[in-house]
């Protein structure tokens, strides 16, 4: 993410855009405000984008599943029941850089070894919860050298669950385990939160109407939760939300250049959405 922020457009529509984000800068030193101006936009107009909840009937989003569930079920479409909440953090570990050949194993303060232990701990903890997933997607040893014990390490944490209580409990356990690991290894940890998004349940009335449209297309209704974040999460602050998932190809792989879907599935989704709108009941 260029400015390490999510749901910028949808938060503007809901009237919840954080104006302090305009001063955040990317790796090149360009602020969000400057980037918007360069693209021909005026940051002063953001407030005018907010919608009146009384004038909004609902928000329905169509998205590729980004996962293998529909593909494995042999179905082109699915009705989303809820969008998982997400907690994301950047963790910096500081140990002591020292000579790889002369520092005994029992006297090391290895930041990378602590990171490795944390990664495996996150994996084990997130195997314990329903609809709970945990990922370390970024891992870096700044200025690492083959003959130097790493004194510094950076990693990311991404913890998600469809149930907020499950997610919060996992985060608490993970933080406690990080503290224990670092104490044992004499490594200091700094943890910065970058995203905290509550789970967003989809409105049953909209789910049912999407399901009915799918069935009118001659397909069975299939319900599933979304583990990925979507604009509907932010829009839930404004109105009822719903999502229609479309089958993902190539084994359900996503965030990868191999991510794909078929034109036939896209056509079915478009027809179902048109039928949903034509038969919509407020």
Encode 175-196: b = buried (16+ Cβ within 10 Å), e = exposed: eebbeebbeebebebeeeeebe
Q: Which of 152, 169, 197 is the last residue of a domain?
A: 197
Q: Measured on CA atoms in the order 61, 64, 69, 75, is the torsion positive or negative?
A: positive
What CATH number does the domain containing 177 carry?
3.30.70.360
The reply to whether 92 and 151 lie within a common domain is yes
CA-closest candidate to residue 237, choices 198, 280, 277: 198
Strand partners, 224: 80
- Per-residue pLDDT, 197: 83
Mean pLDDT of 225-246: 90
The reply to whether 90 and 193 lie within a common domain is yes
pLDDT band at residue 233 using 50, 70 and 90 as cut-offs: confident
- Per-residue pLDDT, 227: 81
The reply to whether 206 and 180 lie within a common domain is no
What CATH number does the domain containing 223 carry?
3.40.630.10
The reply to whether 46 and 57 lie within a common domain is no
The reply to whether 147 and 205 lie within a common domain is no
The reply to whether 254 and 172 lie within a common domain is no
pLDDT band at residue 130 using 50, 70 and 90 as cut-offs: confident
- Per-residue pLDDT, 162: 87
pLDDT tens digits for range 196-212: 888 889 999 999 999 99
The reply to whether 204 and 79 lie within a common domain is yes
The residue segments making up the domain with residue 22 are 1-50
pLDDT tens digits for range 163-189: 899 999 999 999 999 999 999 999 999
pLDDT band at residue 5 using 50, 70 and 90 as cut-offs: confident
- Per-residue pLDDT, 3: 81
- Per-residue pLDDT, 48: 93
Residues in the chain: 282
For a pLDDT cut of 70, what percent of the chain falls above it?
100
The reply to whether 175 and 153 lie within a common domain is yes
The reply to whether 210 and 77 lie within a common domain is yes
- Per-residue pLDDT, 12: 92
Q: Which of 179, 197, 215 is the last residue of a domain?
A: 197
pLDDT tens digits for range 240-253: 999 999 999 999 99
The reply to whether 109 and 188 lie within a common domain is yes
The structural domain count of the chain equals 3
The reply to whether 166 and 245 lie within a common domain is no
Q: Which of 177, 197, 217 is the last residue of a domain?
A: 197
- Per-residue pLDDT, 106: 94
Q: How distant, in Å, are the alpha carbons of 7, 89, 188, 189 from that of 178?
A: 29, 13, 10, 8
Mean pLDDT of 60-82: 95
Strand partners, 160: 86, 133
pTM: 0.75
- Say whether pLDDT at 153 is over 90: yes
Using an 8 Å Cβ cutoff, are 190 and 91 in contact? yes
- Per-residue pLDDT, 238: 93
The reply to whether 234 and 211 lie within a common domain is yes
Mean pLDDT of 135-160: 96
Summary mean pLDDT of the chain: 94
- Say whether pLDDT at 4 is over 90: no
Mean pLDDT of 72-81: 96
């Amino acid at each position: 993410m260029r400015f390490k922020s999510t749901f910028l457009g949808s938060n503007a529509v809901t009237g919840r855009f954080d104006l302090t984000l305009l001063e955040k800068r990317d790796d090149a030193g360009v602020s969000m405000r400057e980037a918007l101006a360069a693209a021909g936009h005026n940051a002063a107009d953001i407030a005018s984008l907010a919608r009146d909840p009384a004038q909004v009937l609902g928000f329905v989003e169509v998205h590729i599943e980004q996962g293998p569930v529909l593909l494995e079920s042999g179905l082109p479409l699915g009705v989303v029941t809820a969008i998982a909440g997400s907690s994301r953090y950047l963790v910096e570990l500081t140990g002591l850089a020292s000579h790889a050949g002369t520092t005994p194993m029992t006297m090391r303060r290895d930041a990378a070894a602590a990171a490795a232990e944390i990664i495996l701990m996150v994996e084990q903890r997130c195997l314990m919860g329903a609809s709970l997933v945990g990922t370390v997607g970024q891992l870096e040893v700044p200025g690492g050298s083959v003959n130097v014990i790493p004194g510094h390490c950076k990693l990311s944490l991404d913890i998600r669950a469809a149930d907020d209580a499950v997610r919060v409990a996992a985060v608490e356990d993970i933080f406690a385990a990080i503290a224990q690991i670092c104490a044992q290894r004499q490594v200091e940890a700094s943890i910065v939160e970058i995203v905290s998004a509550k789970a967003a349940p989809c409105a049953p009335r909209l789910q049912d109407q999407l399901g009915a449209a799918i069935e009118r297309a001659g397909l069975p209704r299939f319900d599933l939760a979304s583990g990925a974040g979507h604009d509907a999460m932010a829009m839930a602050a404004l109105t009822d939300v719903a999502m229609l998932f479309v089958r993902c190809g190539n084994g359900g792989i996503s965030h990868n250049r191999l991510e794909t879907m078929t034109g036939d599935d896209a056509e079915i989704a478009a027809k179902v959405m048109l039928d949903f709108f034509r038969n919509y009941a407020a």
